């Protein structure tokens, strides 16, 4: 009966899982091996010659438009295994930040790029005092010792505005050369407007 019907309507008989619009259709929850085609597709896009020669802004556009489009199409259609979601996030992070898919941890990346990304402080609300490159001497976490940071009572998440409100400049022996350089470049007051990248 099935073969007769298949011959009449011209559709071949097949077994599950089958692919429809590149998504495996099955009666059960998809396994990791069923979704490897999605990982391969994303890897092919980012490893293609077009993806290799894009700037950071170009890679960001590629991720937001093409890769997230493919990912969202799958995600809205089927339930993706958590391992596939993690693998996709790893690929996207590696490609976006490094331009390749062999992976890089973001803390290491931040150390590498923070000296190249400069910020202009206006109201000081969006600029991290220690880790953003806003001070004339460079990134403060590289300039000040752990002891200096402790003396100044600067927290790792403190913004320039927060530090300006609570800073108490040390005197005497606690006032070393690094703290003096930090103080000379620290604003005595902030202006209106948002902090911006230069």
pLDDT tens, position by position, for the chain (198 residues)?
777 877 888 877 777 666 666 677 666 777 787 778 888 888 887 777 566 677 777 888 888 788 888 877 777 777 778 888 888 888 888 777 776 665 444 444 455 566 667 888 888 888 888 888 888 888 888 888 888 888 888 888 888 888 888 888 877 766 788 888 888 888 878 888 888 777
Kindly provide the residue ranges of all beta strands, DSSP E only, lying in the chain, ordered along the sequence: 18-20, 23-25, 119-120, 196-197
Burial 71-109 (b: 16+ CB within 10 A, else e): beebeeebebbeebeebbeebbbbbbbebebeebeeeee
Contact status, residue 123 vs residue 196, Cβ threshold 8 Å: no
Structure tokens at 179: 């703290």
Angstrom CA distances, 86 to 51, 53, 60, 80, stand at 21, 25, 19, 10
Degrees, nearest 5: CA angle 30-36-37: 105
Residue 151 phi/psi, 5-degree rounding, is: -60, -40
Helices and strands counted in the chain (H then E) = 11, 4
Specify the pTM: 0.44
């Amino acid at each position: 009966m099935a073969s007769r019907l298949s011959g009449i309507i011209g559709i071949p008989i097949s077994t599950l899982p089958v692919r429809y619009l590149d998504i495996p259709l099955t009666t059960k929850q998809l396994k990791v091996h069923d979704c490897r085609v999605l990982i391969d597709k994303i890897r092919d896009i980012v490893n293609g010659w077009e993806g290799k020669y894009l700037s950071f802004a170009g890679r960001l556009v590629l991720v937001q438009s093409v890769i997230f489009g493919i990912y969202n199409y799958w995600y809205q259609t089927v339930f993706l295994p958590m391992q596939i979601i993690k693998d996709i996030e790893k690929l996207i992070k590696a490609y976006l930040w490094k331009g390749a898919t062999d992976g890089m941890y973001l803390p290491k990346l931040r150390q590498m790029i923070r000296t190249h990304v400069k910020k202009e402080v206006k109201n000081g609300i969006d600029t991290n005092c220690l880790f953003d490159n806003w001070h004339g001497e460079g990134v403060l976490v590289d300039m000040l010792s752990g002891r200096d940071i402790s003396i100044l009572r600067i927290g790792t998440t403190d913004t320039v505005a927060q530090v300006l409100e609570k800073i108490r400049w040390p005197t005497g022996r606690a006032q070393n050369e690094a703290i003096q350089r930090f103080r000379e470049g620290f604003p005595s007051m902030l202006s209106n407007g948002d902090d911006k990248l230069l």
